[in-house]
C-alpha cells in the first residue's frame, strides 16, 4: 500500500520569494511520483513527474522537484513565486505511470502575498 | 487535440436517487480512471477501466459502478445516493499503448478532466 503526506495544509509566501511545498511518501515498491496543481473550480493539471532516472525533475511554470529515496521525499520548489501560482497543490504516488490508481495527499493551499 | 471531457459540469440529486456521470478520454488514450474529491480533500481513486473491464478498484462500495465503451469513453454510476457522495468527480485518461507496442504498465501519465460537481440534498 502507498500513502502520501503533505506537510502544511496552507503555505503563504511573498511574491518573488522561494516556494517550498513538502511531500513525503510511503511505498513498498519503487514509486512513481507526481505533482498536480488545481485552480479553483477546475480539474488537476500535471506539473511534473518522476519515473526513473534523474532525480531532479523540471516541470511547467518554473517548478521543479527532487526525488530523495533516503528521505522518502519529493518536495516541490520554485525559486520565485508569482501571483498566478496561488492554487491547491497535490502530491501523488503510484506503482506505475498511468496503469494504476494514484494515491494523493490532502493537498497544500499556496497563498501568494503581494 | 481535445483533452479529457466530462459531462455534466454540475448535478443536483436527492438522497436515494441514482446518477450517471460521463467521461471522454483524451485522443489516443484507452484507459480511464475515476476519482472522488470531497471538499478540502485530495482525490480518492474509485476504479480504472481498460478494454471495457474494471481493472483496479479503490475502497468504494458496490454502489459505485462503471462502464467503458468500445470508443474508450466511460460512465460512472452511483446508486442509492448518500449525502456523503457530494463531491467533485474527476475522470483521468492514460494510455497503455506506445505506438504499436503494448506495455504492461501505461507509458503515459494520467490526464484529468475538469470534473463533475455532484451535490446530494
Question: With contacts defined as CB-CB under 8 Å, which chain B residues touch A34?
Answer: 109
Closest to B78 measured CA to CA, from B30, B116, B24: B116
Closest to A3 measured CA to CA, from A102, A76, A110: A102
pLDDT at B71: 95
pLDDT at B28: 85
Cell of A97: 505511470
Residue to test with chain B: of A43, A57, A87, A91, most B Cβ within 10 A: A43
pLDDT at A99 over 70: no
User: Can you tell me the distance from the alpha carbon of A93 to that of B36, in angstroms, rounded to the nearest whole number?
Assistant: 16
Could you tell me the CA-to-CA distances from B60 to A77, B13, B63 in Å, in that order?
34, 20, 8
pLDDT at A59: 92
Q: Give DSSP secondary structure letters for A21-76.
A: EEEEEE-SS--EEEEEEE-TT--EEEEEEE-SS-SEEE-GGG-EEEEEGGGTEEEE
Q: List all residues 6 or more positions away from B14 whose beta carbon is below 8 Å from its beta carbon.
A: B81, B120, B121
Residue A44 near chain B (CB below 8 Å): yes
User: Can you tell me the distance from the alpha carbon of A104 to that of B30, in angstroms, rounded to the nearest whole number?
Assistant: 22
- pLDDT per residue, tens digit, chain B (121 aa), is 678 999 999 999 999 999 999 999 999 888 999 999 999 899 999 999 988 999 889 999 999 999 999 999 999 999 999 999 999 999 999 887 554 444 444 445 788 999 999 999 9
Closest to B43 measured CA to CA, from B77, B82, B89: B89
Q: How far is A42 from chain B (nearest CA, A)?
A: 5
User: Can you tell me the distance from the alpha carbon of B114 to that of A95, in angstroms, rounded to the nearest whole number?
Assistant: 24
Closest to A37 measured CA to CA, from A27, A25, A49: A49
Subunit contact B43:A100, Cβ cutoff 8 A: no
The pLDDT tens digits of the residues spanning A76-87 come to: 999 999 999 999
B94 within 8 A of A98, measured Cβ to Cβ: yes
Closest to A110 measured CA to CA, from A37, A61, A46: A37
pLDDT at B107: 42
Subunit contact A99:B58, Cβ cutoff 8 A: no
pLDDT at A12: 97
The pLDDT tens digits of the residues spanning A12-68 come to: 999 999 999 999 999 888 888 999 999 987 889 999 999 888 889 999 999 999 999
Residue A104 near chain B (CB below 8 Å): yes
Amino acid at each position: 500500500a502507498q500513502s502520501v503526506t503533505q506537510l502544511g495544509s496552507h503555505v503563504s509566501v511573498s511574491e518573488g520569494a522561494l516556494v517550498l511545498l513538502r511531500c513525503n511518501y510511503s511505498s513498498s515498491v519503487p514509486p512513481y511520483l507526481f505533482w498536480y496543481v488545481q485552480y479553483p473550480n477546475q480539474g488537476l493539471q500535471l506539473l511534473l513527474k518522476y519515473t526513473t532516472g534523474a532525480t531532479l525533475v523540471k516541470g511547467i511554470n518554473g517548478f521543479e522537484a527532487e526525488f530523495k529515496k533516503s528521505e522518502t521525499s519529493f518536495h516541490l520548489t520554485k525559486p520565485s513565486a508569482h501571483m498566478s501560482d496561488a492554487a491547491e497543490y497535490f502530491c501523488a504516488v503510484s506503482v506505475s505511470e498511468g496503469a494504476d490508481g494514484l494515491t494523493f495527499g490532502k493537498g497544500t493551499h499556496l497563498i501568494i502575498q503581494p | 487535440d481535445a483533452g479529457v471531457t466530462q459531462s455534466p459540469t454540475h448535478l443536483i440529486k436527492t438522497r436515494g436517487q441514482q446518477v450517471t456521470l460521463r467521461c471522454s478520454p483524451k485522443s489516443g488514450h484507452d484507459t480511464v480512471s475515476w476519482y472522488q474529491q470531497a471538499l478540502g480533500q485530495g482525490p480518492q481513486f474509485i476504479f480504472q477501466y481498460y478494454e471495457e473491464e474494471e481493472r483496479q478498484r479503490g475502497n468504494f462500495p458496490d454502489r459505485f459502478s462503471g462502464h467503458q465503451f468500445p470508443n474508450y469513453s466511460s460512465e460512472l454510476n452511483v446508486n442509492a445516493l448518500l449525502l456523503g457522495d457530494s463531491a467533485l468527480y474527476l475522470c483521468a485518461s492514460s494510455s497503455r499503448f506506445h505506438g504499436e507496442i503494448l506495455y504492461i504498465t501505461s507509458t503515459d501519465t494520467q490526464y484529468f478532466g475538469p470534473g463533475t460537481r455532484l451535490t446530494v440534498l
